[in-house]
Chain A
Amino acid sequence: MAQCSFLRDRCLLFFSLLGGLILGITILPLLNMTIQELSDIPHLLQVASDSKVIDSIILTMGAGANAIIILMIFGIPLAYVLARAEFMGKKFVETIVDIPLMLPHTVAGILVYILFMKRGLVGGPLYNIGFSFEDAYPGIVVAMLFVSSPYFINSAREGFEKVPLHLENVARTLGATRFSAFLHVTLPLSARHIYNGAIFSWGRAIGEFAAIIMIAYYPMVISTLLYYRFSTGGLKESSSIAFILILSCFTVFLILRYLSRFIGRYDDRV
């Protein structure tokens, strides 16, 4: 029924054709690569079973997830304040939140490096107690955290803003403190936005390259490994790694998108 009316709706059909061109720009190179890769399956399997590649993919996804967990702990309170409070300099704070969106990634890398290097403002004291960011896992995590934070904070904030203030007000008159009202009413009702924001920023974190290599060339995240293999082993080897990464990302994100249908379903009915 829905399909039938879709085909009859000329406007939707026309828009789909236009939109299809954009999709084509993504699909065409993917298809091109897939055909190439599938023409030499033994080589593909060999790269796919390379423990360095597997470790690197796990490292990248793990560090990304780690960054998002930290981002949630600090970003959710910030997003709530931005959604609910009016204060002097709010526009200023909002712009600071957005800065990582506008900066070239190399600039983000320099900013992170200066702060977290062995002689850096934060990195220095931590290095003295044996905690290093340079060429280490924590370096990858902070670089990912920095570049992906706006996606998460803005999405969570949008979710909080969509929860009517009246619901919080009612919860408070029923005996909930502001924190309880947040915990029992606002947070569950924004779950879908928070979840989607987390997926987005996780994707952004996994895709980061420039900011990460500036502070942590080692251990190699997948984009670093890819670049390394490209400059040492050539196109054939690196494109197989790329193909495997695309395949794993596509699968993971498809599953996550599917799961998002089960989160915060109730708000559709209000």
Chain B
Amino acid sequence: MIEFDKLSLRLGDFYLQDVSIRINRGDYYFIIGPSGAGKTVILEAIAGLHLPDSGMITIDDRNVAALPPEKRRIALVYQDYSLFPHMSVEKNIGFGLRMQKCSKEEIHRRVSRLLEQFGIVHLKKRYPGTLSGGEQQRVAIARALASDPEILLLDEPFAALDPITREQIIMDLLRIHRKKNLTIVQVTHSREEIMRMANRCAVIIDGICVQEGPVESVFQNPGSTVVARFIGMDNVIPGVIIARSSGLTTINLGGKSITAVSDASPGDPVEIAFRAIDVTVELHNGFISSAQNRFIATITAVVPLGGPLTQVHMDAGFPILALVTTLSAEQLDFSPGMDVVASIKASAIKVIENEGVT
């Protein structure tokens, strides 16, 4: 188990402030956040490449401040793979074993097994400069696993890969994670990878850990608007609670009322957040329904995303962004200036309280 207790670290102009996270043994843990948020620094701190200015890192309840990287049994794979350019694939993979003074036979045996496992036997005499991105990534992961680490740190492992290679490496990693019960900590700024691979995650924004916990909980209940936006809730609107009854609250959004599930008390300033995909857009037939969360809105822009989906920007007294199928956008002939009805299910709306405290 890796635990950060109020870890602060300064590197030049960059600050990591009071970061507390807990990674359990066997977790597939994701550190997520926008570029430049400090995710890689956290990995390097776990590996022992940076010493904290304050706070503590413990691994299996042991303070590791005095433990140099070479004694931690934590392997790190950088985004650029960082293969040793002057060593063949074989030598790269065997590097850790050579450093641990393993016998030649042992090195040969383990390197051969990894080459086979990753399907790169044919590359063993090649040098990194002649390999494709996907091949380099496989070599880098094989090299990291060669010395049988307890923790594997991956810095955006799929960032530079084509979709097919990416898929193969995801499968490889999931298999290794399951088989070896390895703890994997992976950095990404992609939301899709998290839903698929992680069981726990931390959201790091500007050097601060804004939320941490099981993936479902972070994605279902974003604790702040920054997290809400990051996990794909494109609609974030400020409002004030005006009424509450039987678990449902009514929120005033600049004159319009919206209903959501929340425990906030009347008078509380809140932010509401919901995904664009949870907004339904219908043609306005003149009839104004009294149903909850239905708003007459004017389309301000229609943006096809190039795939099956199209963004519809609307103004209902407050801005709403919807994601509809391109097919229905064409069939209903959505165009700017058109009046439509936008509706959002109450259960799809997250109410975020106490903004600024998280």
Residue of chain A at shortest CB distance from B140: A170
Q: How far is the CA of A166 from the CA of B49 in the complex (A)?
A: 10
Point out which of A170, A171, A172, A264 has the most chain B C-beta atoms below 10 A from its C-beta: A170
Segment from A34-42, A173-181, A252-260 that makes contact with B: A173-181
Q: Main SS of chain B's interface residues?
A: mixed
- With both chains docked as a complex, state the minimum distance between the C-beta of B180 and any C-beta of chain A, in angstroms: 17
Q: A169-B44, A269-B130, A270-B129 are in contact. Are A177 and B70 (CB under 8 A)?
A: yes
Contacts of A177 in B (CB 8 A): 68, 70
* B9: Cβ under 8 A from any A Cβ: no
Q: Which of A166, A268, A270 contacts B128 (CB 8 A)?
A: A270
Partner of A267, one of B78, B82, B86, B100: B86
**A172-B49 in contact given A167-B82, A189-B86, A269-B129 (Cβ < 8 Å):** yes
B99 touches A174 (CB 8 A): yes
Q: How far is the CA of A170 from the CA of B128 in the complex (A)?
A: 15
- Within the complex, the shortest CB–CB distance from A102 to chain B, in Å, comes to 31
Chain A residue nearest in CB terms to B96? A174
In the complex, what residue of chain B is closest to A166 when comparing beta carbons? Answer: B82
Residues of A at the B interface (CB closer than 8 Å) are: 164, 166-167, 169-178, 180, 184-185, 188-189, 264, 266-270
Q: Measured between alpha carbons, how far is A180 from B47 in the docked complex, in Å? A: 17
Question: Do A173 and B70 contact each other (CB < 8 Å), given the known contacts A180-B99, A267-B85, A267-B86?
Answer: yes
B98 (CB) vs chain A CBs: closest residue: A184
Pick from B80, B86, B129 the residue with the most CB of A within 10 Å. B86
Since A171-B84, A174-B147 are in contact, a sample of 5 more A-B pairs with Cβ atoms closer than 8 Å, ordered by chain A residue number, is A164-B82, A169-B78, A172-B48, A172-B69, A175-B99
CB-defined interface of B75-113 with A at 8 Å, one 1/0 digit per residue?
A: 111101010111000000001100110000000000000
**In whole angstroms, how far apart are the Cα atoms of A170 and B47 in the complex?**
9
* B15 lies within 8 A of chain A by Cβ: no
Give Cα distance in the complex from A266 to B74, angstroms: 28
Cα of A51 to Cα of B146 in the assembled complex, Å: 61
Question: B76 near A175 (CB under 8 angstroms)?
Answer: no
**B244 part of interface (Cβ distance < 8 Å):** no
Contact between chains at A174 and B78 (CB < 8 Å): no
Query: How far is the CB of B140 from the nearest CB of chain A, in Å?
Result: 8
Q: Do A174 and B86 contact each other (CB < 8 Å), given the known contacts A169-B76, A266-B129?
A: no
B72 at the interface (CB under 8 A from A): yes
Q: Give 13 A-B contacts (CB < 8 Å), ordered by A residue.
A: A169-B44, A170-B77, A172-B47, A173-B153, A174-B70, A174-B75, A174-B146, A175-B99, A177-B70, A184-B95, A189-B84, A269-B128, A269-B130
Chain A CB within 10 Å — which of B74, B85, B100, B128 has the most? B85
A188 CA / B127 CA spacing, docked (Å): 15
Rounded to whole angstroms, the CA-CA distance of A171 and B76 in the bound complex is 9
Q: In the complex the two chains form, is A174's CB within 8 Å of B95's CB?
A: yes
In the complex, the answer to whether A170 meets B78 with C-beta atoms within 8 Å is yes
Q: Are A175 and B86 in contact (CB under 8 A)?
A: no
Are B82 and A170 neighbours in the complex by a CB distance under 8 Å?
Answer: yes
A175 vs B100: C-alpha distance in the bound complex, in angstroms?
A: 6
> How far is it, in angstroms, between the C-alpha of A177 and the C-alpha of B70 when the chains are bound?
6
Contact B95 A171 (CB under 8 A): yes
- CB-CB nearest 5 A-B residue pairs: A269-B129, A174-B96, A175-B99, A172-B69, A270-B85
Least CB separation from B155: chain A residue: A166
B143 touches A174 (CB 8 A): yes
Q: Which residues of A contact B128 (CB under 8 A)?
A: 269-270
**Residues of chain B in range 40-84 having any CB-CB distance to chain A below 8 Å:** 44, 47-49, 68-70, 72, 74-78, 80, 82, 84
Closest chain-A Cβ to B186's Cβ sits at a distance in Å of 15
Q: Which residue of B lies closest to A266 (CB)?
A: B86
Contact A167 B76 (CB under 8 A): no
**Structural contact, B85 and A266, CB atoms closer than 8 A:** yes
| A166 & B147 in contact (Cβ 8 Å cutoff) | no
Question: Chain B contacts of A270 at CB under 8 A?
Answer: 85, 128-129
B147 touches A169 (CB 8 A): no
Give Cα A89 to B281, complex, Å: 66
Complex Cα distance, B143 from A171, in Å, reads 10
Looking at the assembled complex, report how far the CB atom of B88 sits from the nearest CB atom of chain A, in whole angstroms: 10
Instruction: Please report the C-alpha to C-alpha distance between residue A36 and residue B74 in the assembled complex, in whole angstroms.
Output: 70
Closest to A165 in B: B49
Give complex CA distance A180, B127 in Å. Answer: 21
Which of chain A's residues have a CB closer than 8 A to the CB of B47? Answer: 169, 172-173
A201 to B143, CA, bound (A): 39
Question: Hey, which chain B residues are within 8 Å of A264, CB to CB?
Answer: 86
Q: Given the complex, which residues of B lie within 8 Å of A169, measured CB to CB?
A: 44, 47, 49, 69, 76, 78, 82
Q: CA–CA, A270 to B128, complex, Å?
A: 8
Bound: A167/B76 CA distance, A: 11
- Taking a contact as CB atoms closer than 8 A, the residue among B84, B127, B144, B146 that contacts A185 in the complex is B84
Chain A contacts for B48, CB-based, 8 A: 172-173
Pick the contact of B70: A176, A184, A269 (CB < 8 A).
A176
Q: How far is the CB of B93 from chain A (nearest CB, A)?
A: 10
B140-173 near A? 1/0 per residue, CB < 8 Å: 0001101100000100000000000000000000
CA distance A267 to B86 in the complex (A): 7
Residues of B within 8 A of A175 (CB): 70, 96, 99-100, 147
What's the nearest-Cβ distance from chain B to residue A192, in Å? 11
Hey, which chain A residues are within 8 Å of B80, CB to CB? 164, 166
- A175: nearest chain-B partner, CB-CB: B99
How near does chain B come to A261, taking the closest CB pair, in angstroms? Answer: 16
- Say how far A194's CB is from chain B's closest CB, in angstroms: 14
